[in-house]
Chains A and B, each alone.
Chain A
Amino acid sequence: MTSESRITVDGLIKRFGDFVALDGISFAVGAGEIMGFLGPNGAGKSTLIRILCGLLRPSGGQASVAGIDVASDPEGVRRRIGYMSQKFSLYGDLSVVENLRFFGGIYGVPRSALDGQVAFVVEMAGLQGREDSLVATLAGGWKQRLALGAAILHRPSVLFLDEPTSGVDPQSRRRFWDLIHRLGADGVSVLVSTHYMDEAEYCNRIALINRGRLITLGTPHEIKARSVAGELLAVEAEDVGRAIAALREAPGVRNVAVFGRLLHVVVDDAAARASELKARLNALGMAGVRTERILPTMEDSFVHLVGRAGRSPEGAA
């Protein structure tokens, strides 16, 4: 781990009773880096972020944020971070400005700077003209930008965002990610969790986690290249269950996964196998089978990696 790391996590473990929510996670985040945490429900994303914010005590391993150990000095950590929790947690019965002034006061933003900071955040979040609206009356995208604003009011060097864009329309999500990139450009280290696979592509690096384990870590490009060993075919067939069974037994097929109405099939050679597989399904009496060569997405990587990790835990990156 370099001395420039803003977040250092080493063998972090969190247990809730007998349940292991985080199972030996290690990674580091540098200054100005945007690190995405990608994983399904219950993977442990929120638990990890809460430990790094000093809200939960780690059961084992070490973690430091802005050079401070989260277990021994959680207060020191809290002064230096911004946090946006998964559940919206500003005060709905207070106005936009009242919320911002409240958090400004709590974080001890100097009085001389507070007005300027509030104005900056209002502008950044695109909330001009809504300064005095009660927060409960704002639409989802605006609430989330305001929550981000409240988290950076005191100019923290590390920012934790827990599924900041869930339940928000795609346009607002893009706008939100623009803000995150601006912060990264200013040198703020951002750790953001999401379960939107497409959002992962906006991060500098991604950590895939599942059931408390870090499955892989790298740039979006690296992960896709690394994880899907082979080429990818999208197959459309009527009887999905039977089609899966048949495809798994076909020569050259390495993995089959369901993506909505399609099957994503990893093969050694897409061009050669496409017609073979189609013929195989047709032979089983399935009509209207179509195949198409596609490029792997983050979701393919994820499915692939989770499948592999499930079979051999040590095999995870």
Chain B
Amino acid sequence: MRLRRIKAIAVKEGLQIVRDPRSLMIALLLPLMQMFMFGYGVSLDVQRIPLCVLDNEASQQSRDLIGRFAASRYFSLVRALGGQRDIAPRLDDGTCRIVLVIPSDFSRSLNDTGAGRLQALLDGTDSNTANIAANYAKAVVSAFSISLQLETVQRKGGVPQSLTPVDVEARVWFNEELESRNFIVPGIVALVMAIVGAQLTSLTIAREWERGTMELLISTPVQPMELMIGKLLPYFCVGLADAAICLALAVFWFDVPFRGTVATLFFTTSLFLLVVLSIGYIVSVSIRSQVGASQIALLLTMLPTTLLSGFAFPIDQMPALVQGVTFLVSARYYILILKAVFLKGSGLTALALPILCLALYALVLVVLAARAFRKTLD
């Protein structure tokens, strides 16, 4: 492997990127557009989820709880239902997305155990919204139960010692403001980086085949490894610029709190970039047409990232087999890392395991990419 050749290829590729300002603009504007598209498309409709209640107790506490739901901006109370048989029709005709059923023993169990039992019935056709709605509902309930306990403790004149940890609380612990956006935007960053990253490199080899420059290139002593490194380097720089755009938008436009360090963020983002750039490169090597390579790269990155990374559908609710498959989706690790860095401020040590997985993933793909290329016309 010779540095001289790698440099020659990187310089050539860099010049070609700069000489094609239209593609460069697309490479930089595409993530911007996708961030807005996904950012708004996904998070806007989960505000003011239509809610119906069936209050079987009609006590002070049940009315307080309903009041909290009504006051929350995540739900809008549409109507109070008269009985059990009203539930299904209301969900079916779309009057509401979620029905809160307060059992007749709600207050008693609340006062006995500190946590009341509630039933929430959801319209599962849009599982993403349903899931978010369920989490919101749990959060509202848990906020309600905590304030209730505080009140009890204060009434007794004591100092709050340990509050009964409520199961649902863990789910929203790192997202106190209950903004679905905070959860989703890091996922969107990963999605956009996956799509854009693979797109960047998906054309690079296919273009040389289409333009006929590959025949000459493979008649030279250049080695597949040198070609790959030289070609990925300039796109890695473009990819980092894209990452900076996405991450800046996440923080400054979508107001996702950023508690981690920029260094951790860019280190892990670099690993993920290596993965997606390599995927694009492998596709480009295997499919010698630009249009085909670009589409396959899009499919290969967008589908797993949206479906199997935990971005849109929670992994723990998937069938066991599918859960196993998600370990093969690099975005799974990156999204986990991003959420932790953004919302928890986690550092390298706390994230050692997912970072290791991502690094291993990157290594395997880079090796595959280097080996995918064959210097032959056969």
Binding site for B on A (CB under 8 A): 50, 53-57, 74-75, 78-79, 81, 83-85, 87-94, 98, 101-108, 134
User: Which chain B residues border A78 with CB–CB below 8 Å?
Assistant: 219-221
B215 touching A93 by the CB < 8 A rule? no
User: Which chain B residues border A79 with CB–CB below 8 Å?
Assistant: 221
A94 touching B377 by the CB < 8 A rule? no
Binding site for A on B (CB under 8 A): 2, 4-5, 7-9, 11-12, 15-16, 19-20, 211-222, 375-378
- A91 and B221 in contact (CB under 8 A), knowing A55-B215, A57-B378, A108-B2? no
Residue in A81, A84, A103, A106 whose Cβ sees the most chain B Cβ within 10 Å: A106
A90 touching B216 by the CB < 8 A rule? yes
B220 touching A107 by the CB < 8 A rule? yes
B378 touching A91 by the CB < 8 A rule? no
User: Which chain B residues border A107 with CB–CB below 8 Å?
Assistant: 220-221
Task: Please give me the residue from chain B that is nearest to A160 by CB atom.
Answer: B219
Q: What are 16 A-to-B residue pairs whose CB atoms are below 8 Å?
A: A55-B218, A55-B375, A55-B376, A57-B376, A78-B221, A81-B219, A85-B219, A89-B213, A94-B16, A98-B12, A101-B8, A104-B8, A108-B2, A108-B4, A108-B5, A134-B19
Residue in A75, A87, A101, A102 whose Cβ sees the most chain B Cβ within 10 Å: A102
A53 touching B219 by the CB < 8 A rule? yes
B377 touching A55 by the CB < 8 A rule? yes
Task: Please give me the residue from chain B that is nearest to A14 by CB atom.
Answer: B378
A56 touching B216 by the CB < 8 A rule? no
B212 touching A87 by the CB < 8 A rule? yes
A102 touching B212 by the CB < 8 A rule? no
* Interface of B, helix, strand, loop or mixed by DSSP: helix
B216 touching A94 by the CB < 8 A rule? no
Task: Please give me the residue from chain A that is nearest to B8 by CB atom.
Answer: A105
Additional pairs, 5, CB under 8 Å, beyond known A90-B216, A91-B213: A55-B215, A57-B376, A79-B221, A105-B4, A108-B4
Which 10 pairs across A and B sit closest by C-beta, in order of nearness? Answer: A105-B8, A89-B216, A87-B212, A83-B219, A93-B19, A85-B215, A89-B213, A102-B12, A79-B221, A55-B377
Whole-angstrom distance between the Cβ of A129 and the nearest chain B Cβ: 21
Residue in B219, B222, B377 whose Cβ sees the most chain A Cβ within 10 Å: B219
A106 touching B212 by the CB < 8 A rule? no
B215 touching A87 by the CB < 8 A rule? yes
B8 touching A90 by the CB < 8 A rule? no
User: Which chain A residues border B218 with CB–CB below 8 Å?
Assistant: 55
B8 touching A106 by the CB < 8 A rule? yes
Give the total number of A-B pairs whose CB atoms are below 8 A apart: 83
Report Cα–Cα, A106/B218, bound state, in Å. 11
Whole-angstrom distance between the Cβ of B375 and the nearest chain A Cβ: 8
Report Cα–Cα, A27/B2, bound state, in Å. 36
Task: Please give me the residue from chain B that is nearest to A93 by CB atom.
Answer: B19
Residue in A85, A93, A103, A105 whose Cβ sees the most chain B Cβ within 10 Å: A105
User: Which chain B residues border A53 with CB–CB below 8 Å?
Assistant: 219
Whole-angstrom distance between the Cβ of A254 and the nearest chain B Cβ: 42
User: Which chain B residues border A75 with CB–CB below 8 Å?
Assistant: 221
A106 touching B378 by the CB < 8 A rule? no
Task: Please give me the residue from chain B that is nearest to A83 by CB atom.
Answer: B219
Whole-angstrom distance between the Cβ of A224 and the nearest chain B Cβ: 34
- A106 and B9 in contact (CB under 8 A), knowing A85-B212, A89-B213, A91-B213? yes
B212 touching A108 by the CB < 8 A rule? no
Report Cα–Cα, A98/B376, bound state, in Å. 25
Report Cα–Cα, A83/B375, bound state, in Å. 15
B219 touching A55 by the CB < 8 A rule? yes
Task: Please give me the residue from chain A that is nearest to B5 by CB atom.
Answer: A106
A89 touching B212 by the CB < 8 A rule? yes
User: Which chain A residues border B19 with CB–CB below 8 Å?
Assistant: 93-94, 134
User: Which chain A residues border B214 with CB–CB below 8 Å?
Assistant: 89
Task: Please give me the residue from chain A that is nearest to B6 by CB atom.
Answer: A105
Task: Please give me the residue from chain B that is nearest to A59 by CB atom.
Answer: B378
Whole-angstrom distance between the Cβ of B224 and the nearest chain A Cβ: 11
Whole-angstrom distance between the Cβ of A18 and the nearest chain B Cβ: 16
Task: Please give me the residue from chain B that is nearest to A84 by CB atom.
Answer: B216
User: Which chain B residues border A91 with CB–CB below 8 Å?
Assistant: 12, 16, 213
User: Which chain A residues border B219 with CB–CB below 8 Å?
Assistant: 53-55, 78, 81, 83, 85
Report Cα–Cα, A103/B222, bound state, in Å. 10
User: Which chain B residues border A81 with CB–CB below 8 Å?
Assistant: 219
Task: Please give me the residue from chain A that is nearest to B377 by CB atom.
Answer: A55
User: Which chain B residues border A108 with CB–CB below 8 Å?
Assistant: 2, 4-5, 221
B213 touching A93 by the CB < 8 A rule? no
Whole-angstrom distance between the Cβ of B236 and the nearest chain A Cβ: 20
User: Which chain A residues border B216 with CB–CB below 8 Å?
Assistant: 83-85, 89-90
User: Which chain A residues border B377 with CB–CB below 8 Å?
Assistant: 50, 55-56
Task: Please give me the residue from chain B that is nearest to A57 by CB atom.
Answer: B378
Residue in A93, A98, A103, A134 whose Cβ sees the most chain B Cβ within 10 Å: A93
A90 touching B213 by the CB < 8 A rule? yes
Q: Which listed residue, A84, A88, A105, touches B212 by the CB 8 Å rule? A: A88
User: Which chain B residues border A50 with CB–CB below 8 Å?
Assistant: 377
B222 touching A106 by the CB < 8 A rule? yes
User: Which chain A residues border B8 with CB–CB below 8 Å?
Assistant: 101-102, 104-106
Task: Please give me the residue from chain A that is nearest to B220 by CB atom.
Answer: A106
A94 touching B15 by the CB < 8 A rule? yes
User: Which chain A residues border B211 with CB–CB below 8 Å?
Assistant: 89, 92
Report Cα–Cα, A60/B16, bound state, in Å. 40
Whole-angstrom distance between the Cβ of A152 and the nearest chain B Cβ: 13
User: Which chain A residues border B221 with CB–CB below 8 Å?
Assistant: 75, 78-79, 106-108
Whole-angstrom distance between the Cβ of B328 and the nearest chain A Cβ: 35
Report Cα–Cα, A144/B105, bound state, in Å. 90
Whole-angstrom distance between the Cβ of B354 and the nearest chain A Cβ: 39
Whole-angstrom distance between the Cβ of B227 and the nearest chain A Cβ: 10
Report Cα–Cα, A74/B7, bound state, in Å. 23
User: Which chain A residues border B222 with CB–CB below 8 Å?
Assistant: 106
Whole-angstrom distance between the Cβ of B22 and the nearest chain A Cβ: 12
User: Which chain B residues border A101 with CB–CB below 8 Å?
Assistant: 8, 11
Whole-angstrom distance between the Cβ of A193 and the nearest chain B Cβ: 14
